[in-house]
């Protein structure tokens, strides 16, 4: 009944093309996931800091941004970008740019909340102590608050990275050839969905699970410290 | 850029009722999947805090396997992978009766059940041990301890993250469009395809999701504040 030969015969296409993006189609799950995580987090830092700004002119738009993107499905955001970018820029946009833009904009809302919670978890006394030794606001943020906040953020950051990593499978909806799309392509020819989808499930699982183990190890270490 | 809006495609003509139909399917698939997810989450979450090692390991395996794989992959798995394994009679019946809906429902429910399980486990585990000890010290029986002390606390601790997870489930039901479940996102795309009115269709779909999510979050926020335990649950800002 099961025939995992289909996986072995197409292993190179699935992994080299789908996962790494080194085949004729370009694409690739990792080629999308890694930049999306890095850029999403960077934008998230700004969103999180803006959420804590004293001026409502900065704080309220940031709050609206977060509430908006946390209230709509990622698939919807991908369709928006897919449709609206070519209209705004007046030319066709490759799936990669569409997907990356959607992920960065969407995930920055979630990363922003993590950054905000991380900064708020630093005791007020730390800020007061920094002020009393004569540090400016920016110096306090840079040398006292952010280093401690980052440490507190690590567990939820990793969780969000895992979510983002899994979500990159949704880029296959607009035709981006990642691991999921590669499995679909092979399945269209071989019609062995059970084996193929189980196989990519395991590949996704290995990445996500290792990340979560790493996070747990780190958590224990900072708790012990 | 000049764009003429034609909002009427949303409520009149051939595409008129599509959004409403999509909304109903979204609510149906999310509702059923939510019941399944909560059932799986409560059972596996409770087993994971229980004393029985094999059951604990089994529940942990379920959680770790399902939540670390993309929902989309589970959708394909349940829709394309599983039916060929079923006896022909059941398979034919399924494909006559909306197989994609049931596959999508199962995928959503089983995936979010694993995530719900984590919510429930950490809720139970975050109850201070002293609560158990205090309850026993007052002479309550184990049944009373759970009924009168632990469950009321656990419920209140679990509500905020469980609300979050339920909203994630609602939003993730949009992934079911990949296996052609005619839910809200699918219908939004259909309207766009039929009328070439992308901005109108996407705006309407987005606003409906936003209203659902913000509405539920607002109601649950009120419930949370109403039942908050002073001193035990530290709520930032509220």
Which residues in chain A are contacts of B188 at CB distance < 8 A? 76, 79
As given in the structure block, the two tokens for residue A107 are 């995930």
- Distance from C-alpha of B29 to C-alpha of B37, rounded to nearest angstrom: 12
Asked whether the beta carbons of A101 and A69 are under 8 A apart, the reply is no
Chain A: give the shortest CA distance to residue B172, in Å.
6
Which residues in chain A are contacts of B84 at CB distance < 8 A? 193-194
pLDDT tens-digit series, residues A86-114: 888 888 899 999 999 999 999 999 999 99
- Distance from C-alpha of B180 to C-alpha of B187, rounded to nearest angstrom: 10
Chain A: give the shortest CA distance to residue B130, in Å.
21
Asked whether the beta carbons of B181 and B190 are under 8 A apart, the reply is no
What is residue A174's three-state secondary structure?
helix
Record: contact A75-B177, CB cut-off 8 A? yes
- Among candidate residues A135, A181, A146, A186, the one with its CA nearest the CA of residue A11: A186
Which residues in chain A are contacts of B173 at CB distance < 8 A? 73
As given in the structure block, the two tokens for residue A82 are 């897919």
Global pTM reads 0.91
- Stronger pLDDT, A128 or B50, i.e. the higher one: A128
- Distance from C-alpha of B227 to C-alpha of A26, rounded to nearest angstrom: 53
Chain A: give the shortest CA distance to residue B177, in Å.
9
Asked whether the beta carbons of B163 and A64 are under 8 A apart, the reply is no
Helix H or strand E segment including A12: helix A11-12
Helix H or strand E segment including A111: helix A95-120
- Distance from C-alpha of B120 to C-alpha of B38, rounded to nearest angstrom: 9
pLDDT at B236: 41
**Cβ of residue B68 closer than 8 Å to a chain A Cβ:** yes
- Stronger pLDDT, B127 or A81, i.e. the higher one: A81
The reply to whether CATH 1.10.1060.10 applies to domain B27-182 is no
- Distance from C-alpha of A43 to C-alpha of A45, rounded to nearest angstrom: 5
As given in the structure block, the two tokens for residue A106 are 């969407």
pLDDT at B231: 65
The nearest alpha carbon in chain A to B211 belongs to A71
Record: contact B209-A76, CB cut-off 8 A? yes
pLDDT at B117: 95
As given in the structure block, the two tokens for residue B60 are 């942990």
Chain B: give the shortest CA distance to residue A77, in Å.
9
Which residues in chain A are contacts of B201 at CB distance < 8 A? none
pLDDT at A2: 79
Chain A: give the shortest CA distance to residue B178, in Å.
7
Asked whether the beta carbons of A155 and A162 are under 8 A apart, the reply is no
The nearest alpha carbon in chain A to B67 belongs to A205
What is residue A33's three-state secondary structure?
helix
Give me the phi and psi of A139, to 5 degrees please. Answer: -65, -40
Nearest to A73 among B64, B65, B185 (CB): B185
Chain A: give the shortest CA distance to residue B69, in Å.
5
Whether residue A137 has pLDDT greater than 90? no
Q: Which residues of chain B have pLDDT under 70?
A: 1-2, 231-238
DSSP, residue by residue, chain B: ------GGGGTSSTTTTHHHHHHHHHHHHHHHHHHHHHHHHHHHHHHHHSS-HHHHHHHHHHHHHHHTS-HHHHHHIIIIISGGGS-HHHHHHHHHTTHHHHHHHHHHHHHHHHHHHHHHHHHHHTS-HHHHHHHHHTT--HHHIIIIIIHHHHHHHHHHHHHHHHHHHHHHGGGGGGGT---HHHHHHHHHHHH--HHHHHHHHHHHHHHHHHHHHHHHHHHHHHT--TTTS--S--
- Distance from C-alpha of A194 to C-alpha of A104, rounded to nearest angstrom: 32
**Cβ of residue B65 closer than 8 Å to a chain A Cβ:** yes
**Cβ of residue B74 closer than 8 Å to a chain A Cβ:** yes
- Distance from C-alpha of B120 to C-alpha of B154, rounded to nearest angstrom: 8
- Among candidate residues B111, B122, B166, B82, the one with its CA nearest the CA of residue A167: B111
- Among candidate residues A31, A81, A79, the one with its CA nearest the CA of residue A182: A31
The nearest alpha carbon in chain A to B237 belongs to A120
pLDDT at B226: 86
Local confidence band at A225 (pLDDT 50, 70, 90 cut-offs): low
Record: contact B84-A173, CB cut-off 8 A? no
Model ipTM? 0.91
Record: contact B209-A187, CB cut-off 8 A? no
The nearest alpha carbon in chain B to A71 belongs to B210
As given in the structure block, the two tokens for residue A93 are 């946009």
pLDDT at B77: 95
- Among candidate residues B29, B37, B71, the one with its CA nearest the CA of residue B181: B29
Residue A141 DSSP code: I
What is residue A26's three-state secondary structure?
coil
**Cβ of residue B63 closer than 8 Å to a chain A Cβ:** no
Interface of A with B (CB under 8 A): 1, 67-68, 70-76, 79-80, 83-84, 87-88, 117, 120, 162, 166-170, 172-173, 180, 183-184, 187, 193-194, 197-198, 200-201, 204-205, 208-209, 212
Helix H or strand E segment including A127: helix A124-132
pLDDT at B238: 34
């Amino acid at each position: 009944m099961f025939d995992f030969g289909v996986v072995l015969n197409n292993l190179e296409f699935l992994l080299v093309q789908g996962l790494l993006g080194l085949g004729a189609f370009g694409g690739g799950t990792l080629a999308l996931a890694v930049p999306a995580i890095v850029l999403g987090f960077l934008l998230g830092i700004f969103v999180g800091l803006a959420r804590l700004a004293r001026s409502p002119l900065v704080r309220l738009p940031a709050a609206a941004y977060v509430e908006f993107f946390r209230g709509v499905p990622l698939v919807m955001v991908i369709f928006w970008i897919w449709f609206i970018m070519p209209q705004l820029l007046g030319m066709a946009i490759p799936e990669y740019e569409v997907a990356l833009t959607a992920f960065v904009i969407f995930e920055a809302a979630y990363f922003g909340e993590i950054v905000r919670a991380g900064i708020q978890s630093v005791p007020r006394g730390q800020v007061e102590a920094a002020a009393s030794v004569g540090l400016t606001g920016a110096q306090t943020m840079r040398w006292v608050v952010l280093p401690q906040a980052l440490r507190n953020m690590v567990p939820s950051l990793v969780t969000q990275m895992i979510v983002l990593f899994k979500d990159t499978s949704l880029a296959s909806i607009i035709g981006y050839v990642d691991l999921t799309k590669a499995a679909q392509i092979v399945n269209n020819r071989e019609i062995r969905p059970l084996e193929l989808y189980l196989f990519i499930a395991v590949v996704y699982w290995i990445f996500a699970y290792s990340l979560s183990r790493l996070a747990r190890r780190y958590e224990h270490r900072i708790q012990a410290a | 850029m000049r764009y003429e809006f034609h909002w009427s495609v949303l409520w009149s003509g051939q595409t008129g009722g599509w959004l409403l139909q999509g909304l109903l399917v979204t609510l149906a698939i999310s509702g059923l999947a939510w019941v399944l997810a909560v059932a799986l989450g409560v059972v596996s979450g409770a087993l994971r805090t229980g004393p029985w090692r094999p059951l604990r390991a089994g529940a942990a395996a379920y959680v770790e396997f399902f939540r670390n794989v993309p929902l989309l992959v589970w959708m394909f798995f349940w829709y394309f992978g599983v039916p060929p394994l079923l006896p022909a009679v059941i398979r034919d019946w399924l494909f006559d009766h909306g197989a994609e809906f049931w596959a999508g429902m199962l995928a959503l429910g089983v995936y979010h059940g694993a995530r719900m399980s984590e919510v429930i486990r950490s809720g139970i585990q975050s109850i201070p041990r002293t609560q158990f000890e205090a309850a026993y010290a007052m002479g309550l029986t184990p049944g009373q301890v759970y009924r009168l002390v632990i469950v009321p606390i656990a419920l209140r601790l679990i509500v905020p993250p469980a609300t979050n997870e339920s909203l994630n489930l609602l939003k993730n039901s949009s992934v079911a469009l990949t296996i052609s479940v005619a839910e809200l996102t699918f219908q939004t795309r259909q309207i766009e395809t039929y009328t070439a009115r992308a901005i109108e269709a996407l705006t309407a779909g987005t606003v409906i999701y936003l209203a659902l999510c913000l509405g539920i979050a607002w109601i649950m926020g009120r419930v949370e504040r109403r039942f908050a335990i002073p001193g035990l649950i530290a709520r930032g800002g509220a």
